[in-house]
Structure 1
Amino acid sequence: MSGTVYPLKGSQREAVEPQENVWLSASAGTGKTQVLSARVLRLLLTEDVRPEQILCLTFTKAGAAEMAERVNDVLARWVRMPATELFKDLRAIGAEGSDAELARARSLFASVLDCPGGGLRIDTIHAFAQWLLSAFPEEAELLPGTRPMEDRDRDLLAEQVLRDLLLEWEAGDPAAVAALEELSRNMAPDKVRGWLLRCAKAREAWEGPGGWQSPMRDRVLRLLGLPAEATMESLSACCADDTPAIASVRQAMWAFHEWGTPTGQKIAEAVGGWLLGTPQQRFEKISDVMGELFNKEGVFKNLNNLSKKVENAKAIGEEAHAWLTQVADQAVLFELAQFLTPALETGRKFAMAWQAAKAREGFVDFDDLIHRAAALLTKAEMSDWIRYKLDREFDHILVDEAQDTNAQQWEIIGALTDDFFSGEGQKGNRQRTIFVVGDYKQAIFGFQGTSPQNFAQAQKRYAELLRTRKENWARGRDAITVNELRALDLGRSFRTAQPILEFVDHAIAAIGHDALGLDANAPPHEGEDRAGIVRLWQPVPAQGGEASDDEAEDGSDFRLTPSERRMADGIAKEIRRWLDEGFPLEKGKHRNATPGDIMILVRKRGELVNPIVARLHARGVPVAGVDRLRLGAPLAVKDLMAALRFAAQPLDDLSLANLLVSPIFGWSQEQLLEHGYRPDKRWLWEHLRGSDDPFVGRTVAALRDLLALADFEPPQALLHWMLTGPWRARAKLVARLGSEVNDPIDELLNAALQFSASHTPSLQGFIRWFDAGDGELKREAEGAGGLVRVMTVHGSKGLQAPIVILADACVDPDASKARDLALVEETVGDGPEREIPIIASRKEQRVGRIGEVEAAQLAADKEEHWRLLYVAMTRAEEALFIGGALNQKSKDGPKPDSWFARLEPLFDGDWLAGGPFGAYKQLGRMAAPVVETGRVIEGQRLPLPDWAVTPIGAEPRPPRPLAPSGGIEDSSADPPLPSAEAAAAARRGVLIHALLERLPDVPVELRDAGGRAWLARHGEGLDESERADILARAIAVLEHPDWRDLFSPGALPEVPLAATVGTQVIAGTADRLLVRDDSVLVVDYKTARRPPQSLAQIPPATLRQMAAYVAALQVIYPGRTVSAAVLYTQTPRLFALPAEMLAAHAPGETGSAA
């Protein structure tokens, strides 16, 4: 990371003022990290601010590292920077650049290095919580040696806790054993384990006064919305003869009886049989009678035919369904309570044992870090003292990615900052500040317990807190003033082309700001003025049947449908074509794209990503692999673990067979099968040791070397010996599987080191520890230079690429189910709110309060679905490609709320032939092709021909290029104007011209809004009526029925032309070019205030310009008819220029393309 300081602009400069309290909403690509770094620099430059008084909290470790690196690099450069350059840097970030600031700037690097901890405190919230607990271990009630819990430690400990509980319950608690058995009958083993860990995580439910204790039946009933004393008898009273529910059922029965058909009589008899039962029998079989009367939509069966005989059949059915649904809901919830009560009691017992086991083993997990830190600052007996100590520590707190901060994390931040703005918390005359940056539109980590509502609520809270503090100062109650919270926005993107951001704005407008959870329309984005395209690929149609095992090329995509495999193939093929033929990019330097410029995004890390990576490999495209993978999944790790399993147990035939056919030994399947059938049924290892085959003998000798070390060396030493010793396993694995195996191999070594650091080193113990959990390998995508990146949208947060592909835009969000439902227990008195986990695995159980919670979660998930789309689209800098594959459920087309279905209407026109999937639609324009010089290929030296060594004469002077519109002054169209009026007219023409370039690619229904937004940004100084008139004239041109083809997606805007006509080089830019199979039409825009009324009045200069364009295009497109026209936008009016008129102004004779 370079230490370059970039000048701040607009709201960026306001946000870094060190005395201001700022709440900054920063859209994607607007330089958020730069502003944060500049804010830290400005604070450091402020007198009386020491580095240790600044605390920066970020969302990710990568974000913390990036900010720390940026600040440290700048400070290091400032030490020896020339005074003039240092002055420019200070001015760039809004500082005055006084002599005192220059001197202080040079000393800051040393000050930062000397501060406690060896640098600025820039941490994730979890790292800060860990530091806080380590600073106050006694107050946090932590034992010496307490350490963070890793995933495998958690899995092993959970297994141990459950084993111990089972032994305890079998000895004296048969009810607990029965409850666990009931859970196991209704849930898969991994679901049972997940439920127990959920209960362990819900510590607030069990701890403190009023925590849930056995027996729980009454509280479970109240939680589900039933009376605490409810029994089957009391609930079944609603099915007594004199109740409205039974009256409505009798009315329904008579309606079917009056229908008179056999079907009606059968239904009536079934309902009559149900009515003959007791109230309790009716209650228990309520679903039976509803199944007899109603279809899946809750409407009477055969309603149309029934209505012909029974006039008010529909009303009778609606009333009966409403009453029976209430009764059925109570029956379902009562049944659920019978299952949920023992499940919660079992979960509480596990949670208590889990907390005790963690304390015994000295573990704290991530949730413990946040929970204990928040409790330390807000609830502990020593919390006032701790806050007082911290109050003397930090004066300025900065929070990054605040939209992804959860409620408990905000508690920590609030505890740190509340004293900032109270009389007790101020320290003398020191200014203390809070700086928060985030973006509601980018809140996408709801699955981690975050909610953008926390972000909005925190802003309101701080605004009120600071307002009150300022009022107290105004009344003389406080000694020092404090600035109110300033809400600022960053909307200017420094990375993304304007056409892509305009598409993003149109997408938000089409989806609706409320669908993203926004209270109001998001401000329009403003991007870089360069080429940019958005292309929609036609979805891959669904194909019958699923993939079989034989059709899979590897073990990773056998569950893919044929359409998904075709999607992966098409993406790989298209990327290969881009790299071979060139994909022009403009940012920084006009060049062709490289693999590192391409990012492929998916919504979830499912079955599609591995085939994409595999297909890219197959086509020779350098690819970084999946951004996250299970450590045990890569083949290289499996091969090395097979070797360790063999070392631990040589009679493990499967592990030995896997090791032999791995790249480490390189046996073929045929060679292995030669030893597969052993008449004496000996173990494979014993059989190989008895072989006299020299090839087998060499293998046995290598395996003996491993066994000789296995009893004496720890796991990491064995792995190192295999990888770099006589086996040369790393080199062999890389040669067969590619360089991407290095990451998982290194992570396996790290896992072995981690195990040995926290456990007694043993081979069998390491294998058991490794198998206990998946272990996730995360590749840092920013370090994947020169490689195509394949990742989830969540993983791409904070990253960008010139070319982005959304590969699964057809996914139906409504197919997702609500996760881990929980109900909030109604508080009694001053008691705390308690969130109680529940199990409602069946759809019919999600009624009443459970149904409300599920609906709220699904609505929140839908909002996050659209915010995820925003994040995905804004990763693209110059090109955004959108595609997806249909399946059998969506074979008729993408589902209504898929990304694809909501984005497709933004593209005008029909599908254009081409692309990897047959057709596409496109907005915007690509950069001009890159003209590359030829490459020199070394080879055999060839004798030079005579002409190569013969001196040549002087080089002829090249013809001077003619720019048809460059030096032509169209002075006859307008009479002279006063200078001010001329300037206004020129500006008006420029704006109309610009709109005609941009609006053709905007959907018709969005042109008015898009044009107004663009003019609002670029039409400074014009009043509303002037802007409206400019926009109206531009839209009138686009919507003229005779010019539809000219402004269709097939026509090209702003096309550079170059050709040699005779001895004259003609170079220029055509405003609009329409190329057909047999003809070419070139059009130039004229914005003259007084356009000609006929062909005879068109100025000769304009005719010479268009004749030059025609002559150039006849060279470029030989064999096609070339015609020209001039479009006067003021009227508007299009003049087609006759060929004979242009011939009189032709620049020359035949020529060649330049």
Structure 2
Amino acid sequence: MKTLSLHEIDTSGLTLIEASAGTGKTWTITALYILLLLEQRMRPEEILVVTYTKAATAELRDRVRKRIAATLDLYVTGREPTDELEQMLLASQKIDREAAQRLLTRALYSFDDAAIFTIHGFCQRALLENAFESGSLFDSELTADQSALVAQVCDDFWRTRIMADEGPFLERLVMAGYTPDKLAEPFEGQYQNRDLNVIPEAEDADLVRLMEQRDALLPPVAAMWAAERAAIVQMLNRANLSQTSYKPAQIEAAAAKLNVCLERRSLDKGCDGLALFTPARIEKGMKKGSIRPEHPFFDLCGRLHDAAVRVDNGFNTKLIHRQLELKEWLRNELARRKQTLNLRCYDDLLLDLHLALEGAGGMRLAAGLRERYKAAMIDEFQDTDPLQWRIFARLAGLPPKMERGDYGAGNAESPPDAPYPLFLIGDPKQAIYSFRGADIHAYIAAAQATDKERCWTLDTNRRSTPPLVAAVNTLFGTDNPFLNPAILFGAVQAGRDRRQQLLCNGRPVESPLRFWVYQRADRSKAAGKAVARGATVTATATEIARLLDGSYEVIAKDGIQRPLKPGDMAILVKAHYQADQIQSALTALGIPAVQHGNATIFKTREALDLLRILRAAADPARSALVREALLTSVIGLSANDVFDLQHDESAWEVWLLRFRALHEAARAGGVIALVSRLLGECGVRRQALASAEGPRRMTNILHCCELLHQAEREQGRGLEGSIAWLERRITGELQDDTFLLRLETDANAVTLSTIHASKGLEYPVVFLPFAWDPPSAKSRRVLFHDASGGLTLDLGSDQRDTDHKQLAREEQDAEAARLLYVALTRAEFLCYVTWGSIKGAFESPLRRLLHGENFKDAKSFGAADDQEILDAVAGLAGKAIHTDGPSPIAARFMPAEMAAPPYTPDQNASGPFACREVQRTISTEWRVSSFSAITGGSERHLQPHDYDAVAAPDAPQIAADGDSPLDGLGAELSIFGFPRGAAAGTCLHELFEQLDFSAVESESLERLCQTVLLRNGYDRRWLPAVQRMVMDIISAPLLSADPGFSLSHLKPGSWQVEMEFFLPVNRLSGSGLTELFAGLLSHDRHGEFAEVLAALHVQELRGMLQGFMDMVFEHNGRYYIIDWKSNHLGNQHEDYRAARLPEPMARHAYILQYHLYTLALDRMLRLRLPGYDYATHFGGAIYVFLRGISTGSVEYGVYYDKPSPLFIQRANELLLVSGEAGVR
């Protein structure tokens, strides 16, 4: 594979980039992104970048944005280039400086639209944006947890199919410990995987018939046994049989077991003793040259045993048949119920998009996605699966045989030209997430589908020091280190700045990869895990204390030399209980340590304790529940304390009253009130913080409380509902980031992390104390890949426990080797690895790397001398390839237990406390504002809705000024007397927001007017006046050019009320507005607006102009803006004549208002309406003065204007930012 060169890489077609640990994968992605922006002239929204976690997505967005900004700075300032990409760009003839600045500036401005998503985020967006093409559900709810639905489906299958089975099968199933959940256990995580091949195919067995045939043989066997037992046993004792199987004691034990089975006349619970009396077993136990004992009983036992085996096989066959039925049931029922509930889980997003791409409209959908996304980069591609690979292959337009990886080595046929730029970026050596569904075989298929000339590798490690890089190269430089010939290890070179070092007493540390070999007390066999683990924990904690004694210092990137701190170190483990043990040891030495990983809060002791407390609070009359709550670690009473309470009535009553108070608190204020009282009155905080693990425990309690409160608030649960919710979470397996354990402190502390959670991270010093621990064998299912690379689940074939189990184990071992690689490549300066002859270590991938095939089995490895093991590791150190100095690998026996040096935190390390100083100027220009704010002179009065609070100063006053809903009742009850002010305007606006213009009936209008008036506090005596006003407005002509049109002619769906918009404004100021309106105002139409505009104090704005158009409607292909004005201009219609309206329109700057509204609507229509033309499609702005409308003429209460096209042109040039207005 060629080393990646940015000069040579082609940014079109299918490209594979293999990035070993620490070689700059993210740097490469950002570099490719820049090339696509500059060379291919793409926009950020056209470059699809997909990764696998939300955290990785956020980091990638940040890194890409910074890279764009840095590259723009390169062109703007002309500074010296700092890396290969910048050197190449400045030397390139393809990109001129001016064009690059323009493209990069555009990319920065539009980067919020960058298409950088998680895989599920991409699929969700593709389905929503192509809902018709994909047949996708609208507004489906996305859930991270489908466990409750799966359990429901399994329960229904159990009731429907299993309970309907014949009794013997059900009895035997229950006897074997099967439940609905256990029946579905083999399919966990694969419920809807259509690629899963399940074997064997099994017919439904007639178990009743088989049992009847077996049981028919029981009477004759029992009769003969009762009559001749002594003779039969004596015959076997006297026969010359192997004493391995037929010792007298063994024969007697088998006879006793057989006796029990025959007395109860049943073999349903099995019978271990039967086999010893069968001809086949006797034949097998005969010594050479001996004569086989003969007796009719043996033949009968043989027949009975064969019949019993047929029953067992029949049960297993029937069980497999039912499980196959359950698999189909799960797939179909989950899909059906989710559709009914309009629900999706994350895997459904992938499956739905894949099915859409495979379906009838798939080619059109794929073409649409290619049009939307001009290029795609798939990060962490080693964690893909066949379904995801097929999605991306379809996106790129690859033929189906390339999806399957048919272009392997030696294939004479060349792949077709695939010009779509698809970059697959990952490292197969770091594929460690099979438990999440990742499939390394999908990566291999994609690699085989890629032209070898387009396969690149990154070969420079910039994470670790040169000696540490050399050590890892040596360790993995064996034949087939990853147990898969398709995954090769290529030695990488070190590219880290040599000035960054770890010093010990002023000198660079030597031999950074340090092996500790455990010494056993009993050297005749492998050490027990518990003993070895305890010694390792102690040695690790002691060594960390030694490293913190002040003699070790770090030279960082900035050249500053500082002492090594706890936060510089990480301990990587495989299981959280291992982290717990080490954290306790570190805490005992006073060394701060925090756990970081994928553990869920619901698996902590505090979650279970809180559940017990909630149960007691829900039913405080039940003393047993209260006692159980008192014994939790949260409250902290001992068993003796609780026992004493039984004899101290007053003390017991105190606790009962406390739990009754908790009960009342929950009823009044929910779980948050209960926990608040619990913390305050039950000594929980003091109890939790009294121990060394106090911060961790307190964090867990508060985290649980927060999640319970959130669930209660969102789902309206009471205390019982919260208990049920917490119970399901404790017993379930959820994958939601909000449930992960939080760090109890962000202080400087040693990191304790699982290896899986450490992937992608780096630490100056790393400890691997349990590298000897073998791969976990928790799963009982046999899941493996067949010869064609297909994922196969074996439920019980003839090869299940032999060949197929071996294949499954080999895949586990291969992933364990990859996990070890991830662990060993996290360190920057120093890495400690524990090794030795410990139970299970023979199965560890480290044994193969250190010892090869020197030991044939676990027994020989267990018997090996500790010195022999140490010498083997030391021999590897001698083979290490390094340029100078001592070997980068060292081996020694694990340090004996000794007193750890005291750890004293550096109290001055952080320096004196001081407020941070603002280093940059914070711009106050860019903001979101509104018409009211920019004309009102103060952002504090920001109110996007214009509710007409201003009244004409010279208007006749028939009611007192103000906002009282009762104002005006003493005057004539006409619309002229209706109260004025903001409250009245709000009330009348609400009427028109809720009015259906296409279907106004007298009764419905009366109900609406009455409801709105009363809700806003107005006397119902205003109802006739308001109702008359509404009817006048609905029937009044509004357009002089179309006098026959009124709002009553509107068709359903032809109008929208309260249309909100955000209009991007480059710079809006008073002088800018004056320039904008120059020459466009007439006195007849716009009154004294020119003078008003000149005197207007406009708050300068750069940002977004927000507003709400009261109503937008469409009539005869034209779009009109309506604004309702409740301003009081007088007590007769003549005061609202059209010729008089320009004056109040100008005085209140409504003319500016509708010009701005017109700009927003014009911008939206240009983007949404095909063939849009302002002159043709925009009708104008209509301001309706509600008090002055006359049904017979447009001359009263209606102000109409259509801004000049020149205004639109000028505004787009002088005022607005190019792009789209957000309108909804």
- What TM-score does the superposition give when structure 1 sets the normalisation length? 0.58
Aligned with 2:583 (options 596, 605, 613): 613
Contact 2:385 2:442 survives alignment (8 Å)? yes
Aligned mates of 2:636, 2:164 — CA distance in 1: 54
Amino acid in structure 2 at the alignment position of 1:43: L
Amino acid in structure 2 at the alignment position of 1:155: S
Q: Which residue of 2 aligns with 1:1124?
A: none
Moved more, 795-804 or 741-750: 741-750
Report the CA distance between 1:226 and its aligned residue: 13
- Secondary structure at 1:56 match in 2: strand
Amino acid in structure 1 at the alignment position of 2:50: L
Contact 1:44 1:108 survives alignment (8 Å)? yes
Aligned mates of 1:731, 1:121 — CA distance in 2: 49
Aligned mates of 2:729, 2:326 — CA distance in 1: 23
Relative distance call for 1:458 and 1:1007 in structure 2 (3 A) is same
Report the CA distance between 1:408 and its aligned residue: 0.8
Matched, 1:764 2:720: yes
Report the CA distance between 1:800 and its aligned residue: 1.6
Amino acid in structure 1 at the alignment position of 2:148: L
Alignment map for 1:476-555 (pairs within 5 Å): 486-510=454-478, 512-513=479-480, 515-519=482-486, 522-527=489-494, 528=496, 531-539=510-518, 541=520
Aligned with 2:774 (options 812, 828, 848): 812
Q: Which residue of 2 aligns with 1:622?
A: 592
Aligned with 1:397 (options 357, 363, 376): 376
Alignment map for 1:668-747 (pairs within 5 Å): 672-677=642-647, 688-689=656-657, 704=661, 706-715=662-671, 719=675, 733=688, 737-741=693-697, 743-745=699-701, 747=703
Aligned mates of 1:156, 1:883 — CA distance in 2: 42
Alignment map for 1:579-598 (pairs within 5 Å): 579-585=548-554, 588=557, 589=559, 590-598=561-569
- Secondary structure at 1:803 match in 2: strand
Aligned with 1:867 (options 806, 812, 818): 818
Contact 2:14 2:418 survives alignment (8 Å)? no
Q: Which residue of 2 aligns with 1:341?
A: 321
Contact 2:204 2:317 survives alignment (8 Å)? no
Relative distance call for 1:847 and 1:1049 in structure 2 (3 A) is closer
| Higher radius of gyration, 1 or 2 | 2
- Secondary structure at 2:756 match in 1: coil
Amino acid in structure 2 at the alignment position of 1:357: R
Contact 1:72 1:109 survives alignment (8 Å)? no
Aligned mates of 1:591, 1:921 — CA distance in 2: 40
- Secondary structure at 1:341 match in 2: helix
Report the CA distance between 1:56 and its aligned residue: 0.9
Matched, 1:451 2:452: no
Alignment map for 1:778-789 (pairs within 5 Å): 778=740, 786-789=748-751
Aligned mates of 2:154, 2:418 — CA distance in 1: 54
Contact 1:12 1:490 survives alignment (8 Å)? no
Report the CA distance between 1:487 and its aligned residue: 1.3
Q: Which residue of 2 aligns with 1:821?
A: 782
Report the CA distance between 1:674 and its aligned residue: 3.8
Aligned mates of 1:265, 1:615 — CA distance in 2: 53
Report the CA distance between 1:855 and its aligned residue: 2.0
Amino acid in structure 1 at the alignment position of 2:715: H
Q: Which residue of 2 aligns with 1:223?
A: 201
Q: Which residue of 2 aligns with 1:201?
A: 191
Q: Which residue of 2 aligns with 1:897?
A: 843
Q: Which residue of 2 aligns with 1:371?
A: 351
Relative distance call for 1:128 and 1:718 in structure 2 (3 A) is farther
Moved more, 185-194 or 498-507: 185-194
Report the CA distance between 1:54 and its aligned residue: 0.5
Contact 1:401 1:438 survives alignment (8 Å)? yes
- Secondary structure at 1:871 match in 2: helix
- Secondary structure at 2:535 match in 1: helix
Relative distance call for 1:15 and 1:753 in structure 2 (3 A) is farther
Aligned mates of 1:717, 1:746 — CA distance in 2: 12
Relative distance call for 1:331 and 1:824 in structure 2 (3 A) is farther
Contact 1:133 1:140 survives alignment (8 Å)? yes
Amino acid in structure 2 at the alignment position of 1:22: T
- Secondary structure at 1:608 match in 2: helix
Aligned with 1:120 (options 96, 114, 133): 114
Amino acid in structure 1 at the alignment position of 2:752: V
Aligned mates of 1:299, 1:606 — CA distance in 2: 51
Report the CA distance between 1:386 and its aligned residue: 1.4
- Mark the runs of 5 or more structure 2 residues left unpaired by the alignment: 215-235, 259-265, 292-304, 402-416, 502-509, 855-864, 893-1224
Aligned mates of 1:409, 1:539 — CA distance in 2: 44
Contact 1:492 1:526 survives alignment (8 Å)? yes
Report the CA distance between 1:759 and its aligned residue: 2.4
Report the CA distance between 1:811 and its aligned residue: 2.0
Report the CA distance between 1:611 and its aligned residue: 1.3
Q: Which residue of 2 aligns with 1:1031?
A: none
Contact 1:572 1:615 survives alignment (8 Å)? yes
Aligned mates of 1:797, 1:299 — CA distance in 2: 57
Report the CA distance between 1:397 and its aligned residue: 0.8
Relative distance call for 1:735 and 1:679 in structure 2 (3 A) is closer
Amino acid in structure 1 at the alignment position of 2:543: E
Contact 2:783 2:791 survives alignment (8 Å)? no
Aligned mates of 2:783, 2:853 — CA distance in 1: 42
Q: Which residue of 2 aligns with 1:475?
A: none
Q: Which residue of 1 aligns with 2:1048?
A: none
Identity score, percent: 21
Aligned with 2:540 (options 556, 565, 571): 571
Report the CA distance between 1:732 and its aligned residue: 7.2
Report the CA distance between 1:501 and its aligned residue: 2.8
Q: Which residue of 1 aligns with 2:62?
A: 69
- Secondary structure at 1:174 match in 2: coil
Matched, 1:29 2:7: no
Relative distance call for 1:162 and 1:576 in structure 2 (3 A) is same
Aligned mates of 1:653, 1:578 — CA distance in 2: 52
- Secondary structure at 2:424 match in 1: strand
Amino acid in structure 1 at the alignment position of 2:341: E
Report the CA distance between 1:69 and its aligned residue: 0.8
Amino acid in structure 2 at the alignment position of 1:600: I
Amino acid in structure 2 at the alignment position of 1:175: D
Relative distance call for 1:73 and 1:257 in structure 2 (3 A) is same
Moved more, 36-45 or 80-89: 80-89
Amino acid in structure 2 at the alignment position of 1:489: T
Contact 1:25 1:489 survives alignment (8 Å)? yes
Q: Which residue of 1 aligns with 2:148?
A: 156
Q: Which residue of 2 aligns with 1:694?
A: none
Deviations along 1:52-83, one digit per CA (max 9) or x if unpaired, are: 11111113222222111111123345566751
Aligned mates of 1:10, 1:835 — CA distance in 2: 36
Contact 1:59 1:125 survives alignment (8 Å)? yes
Report the CA distance between 1:105 and its aligned residue: 5.0
Aligned mates of 1:367, 1:730 — CA distance in 2: 41
Q: Which residue of 1 aligns with 2:130?
A: 136
Relative distance call for 1:60 and 1:896 in structure 2 (3 A) is same
Alignment map for 1:985-1024 (pairs within 5 Å): 1004=875
- Secondary structure at 1:629 match in 2: coil
Aligned mates of 2:764, 2:462 — CA distance in 1: 13
Q: Which residue of 1 aligns with 2:1109?
A: none
Aligned with 2:33 (options 6, 27, 40): 40
Q: Which residue of 2 aligns with 1:599?
A: 570
Aligned mates of 1:193, 1:230 — CA distance in 2: 21
- Secondary structure at 1:711 match in 2: helix
Relative distance call for 1:179 and 1:402 in structure 2 (3 A) is farther
Contact 2:134 2:361 survives alignment (8 Å)? no
Aligned mates of 2:338, 2:771 — CA distance in 1: 43
Aligned mates of 2:396, 2:31 — CA distance in 1: 21
Alignment map for 1:248-267 (pairs within 5 Å): none
Aligned mates of 1:835, 1:180 — CA distance in 2: 28
Alignment map for 1:1029-1108 (pairs within 5 Å): none
Aligned mates of 2:79, 2:442 — CA distance in 1: 43
Report the CA distance between 1:45 and its aligned residue: 2.2
Matched, 1:361 2:330: no
